[in-house]
Amino acid sequence: MEPATEAEVKELLGADFGSLGPVNLPENVKIIADRKVQDSRNAVVGANEDGYHLTGVNPGRDFTAEYVDIREVREGEISPDGQGVLNFARGIEIGHIFKLGTRYSASMGADVLDEKWPCCANHHGLLRYRCQPSPFSRYGATRSPLC
């Protein structure tokens, strides 16, 4: 899944981003909304016509959606399990995984035996220059004695 361009949205819904809303969308448009939207009442949303909005919109009555956790959280909010609040802390990245799929292999013509098993690529990185100083950074030292 990837975000639609302004041109794609205008062609499909007939309105610009600032006037889009979840009411009366074409059947082939699936609404995926954050869980917080599920609890909203009497909301103001775009009317899918440039410059117009609807008021008093309620999920369930005026539109249906699949609700997932997609919004950015804030410190102090209730944790997803309801057992406490969220606290933010500084961190240091020491590794990562990028799932690249077939983006690069397809562009280079890399194939395997059949379409059922495409040639996929992933990037796994361990940042060793960050592994050594990470405990020192965590506990307030400004420089590792080993660096």
Please tell me the pTM assigned to this model: 0.50
Q: In the prediction, which pLDDT does 115 show?
A: 65
Q: In the prediction, which pLDDT does 99 show?
A: 75
Residue 129 confidence class, pLDDT cut points 50, 70, 90: low
Lowest mean pLDDT among 20-24, 61-65, 96-100: 96-100
Q: In the prediction, which pLDDT does 90 show?
A: 80
Per-residue pLDDT tens digits for 47-61: 999 999 999 999 999
Lowest mean pLDDT among 4-18, 39-53, 115-129: 115-129
User: Rounded CA gap, 95 and 123, in Å?
Assistant: 11
User: Rounded CA gap, 57 and 25, in Å?
Assistant: 14
Lowest mean pLDDT among 22-31, 47-56, 98-107: 98-107
Q: Per the structure block, which two tokens stand in for 8?
A: 């794609």
Q: In the prediction, which pLDDT does 87 show?
A: 93
